[in-house]
């Protein structure tokens, strides 16, 4: 065996201690580096979460503001805007001025549809007796500009009845709708040119009765009133 001197042993021991110390320092540095990496990853995760939350909050805020805007626009339209389901020209029912009040159920204007369409007739009937009017009943119309004795009457049927009464010219009435064909032809086979805002007198045949019954019914009604009194 080869013997080593004390000085060589001491040098070797010193080198070994330095190597161990260097290893421990590197191991500590490695652990510190891992900790820094984990902290960086956690920071990135937190930033991503904060970013995602910010985006979600932003979207919710935008959606809430958009919903409020739509609600406000809808409320404004219901309060201040008159909308028509069809395209056409406006024909005012009377002269209007700024800041003039409009009553509930009051007719503001009529929309004249553009293109080929049917003629819409509106009949104002009093509240009393309105319950007798039914959809499909016959309607005879005497047009003011065309005397019915000379031109005859235009005949059609009831198409619709308003569910609630309206105030027209300070009178409470129900509005009955009649839809005429584009060509107005009377019972005399005479075609009457249609124009805007034609007026006339309408007779709604609520009951198809004979002439004799038309005479008897009023008399029977009077007798019943006398009997009850």
Residue-wise pLDDT tens digits, 14-45: 888 888 888 888 888 899 999 999 999 999 99
| 18: three-class secondary structure by DSSP | helix
Q: What is the structure's pLDDT at 37?
A: 92
131 and 210 in a common domain:
yes
Nearest-angstrom CA–CA distance, 133 and 204: 7
134 and 76 in a common domain:
no
Share the mean pLDDT of the chain.
Answer: 82
Mean pLDDT in residue range 150-168: 88
Does the structure show a pLDDT above 60 at 122? Answer: yes
- Does residue 222 form part of some domain? yes
Does the structure show a pLDDT above 90 at 183? Answer: no
Q: What percent of the chain has pLDDT over 90?
A: 23
28 lies in which domain range?
1-81
Does the structure show a pLDDT above 60 at 215? Answer: no
- Does residue 35 form part of some domain? yes
127 and 77 in a common domain:
no
- Does residue 108 form part of some domain? no
Mean pLDDT in residue range 53-68: 94
- Does residue 93 form part of some domain? no
Does the structure show a pLDDT above 70 at 159? Answer: yes
Does the structure show a pLDDT above 60 at 116? Answer: no
Q: How far apart are the first and last CA of the chain?
A: 153
- Does residue 103 form part of some domain? no
The count of domains in the chain is: 2
Does the structure show a pLDDT above 80 at 189? Answer: yes
Of residues 49, 22, 41, the one with CA closest to residue 33:
41
Tokens 């001491």 map to which residue? Answer: 10
Mean pLDDT in residue range 222-227: 60
C-alpha distances (whole Å) from 24 to each of 19, 29, 30, 37, 67 are: 9, 8, 10, 20, 64
Mean pLDDT in residue range 142-154: 90
| 29: three-class secondary structure by DSSP | helix
Q: How confident is the model at residue 217 (pLDDT cuts 50, 70, 90)?
A: low
Does the structure show a pLDDT above 80 at 93? Answer: no
């Amino acid at each position: 065996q080869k013997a080593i001197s004390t000085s060589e042993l001491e040098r070797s021991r010193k080198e070994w201690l330095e190597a161990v110390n260097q290893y421990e320092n590197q191991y500590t540095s490695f652990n510190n580096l891992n900790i820094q990496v984990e902290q960086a990853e956690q920071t990135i995760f937190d930033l991503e979460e904060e970013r995602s939350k910010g985006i979600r909050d932003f979207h919710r805020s935008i959606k809430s503001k958009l919903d409020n805007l739509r609600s406000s626009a809808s409320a404004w339209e219901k309060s201040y805007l008159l909308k028509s389901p069809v395209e056409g020209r406006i024909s005012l029912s009377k002269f209007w001025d700024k800041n003039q009040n409009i009553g509930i159920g009051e007719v503001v204007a009529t929309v004249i549809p553009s293109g080929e369409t049917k003629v819409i007739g509106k009949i104002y009937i009093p509240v009393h007796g309105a319950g007798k009017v039914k959809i499909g009943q016959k309607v005879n119309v005497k047009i003011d500009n065309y005397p019915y004795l000379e031109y005859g009457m235009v005949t059609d049927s009831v198409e619709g009845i308003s569910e609630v009464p309206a105030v027209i010219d300070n009178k409470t009435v129900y509005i009955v709708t009649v839809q005429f064909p584009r060509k107005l032809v009377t019972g005399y086979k005479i075609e009457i040119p249609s124009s805007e805002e034609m007026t006339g007198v309408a007779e709604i045949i609520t009951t198809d009765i004979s002439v004799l019954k038309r005479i008897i019914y009023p008399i029977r009604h009077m007798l019943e009133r006398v009997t009850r009194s």
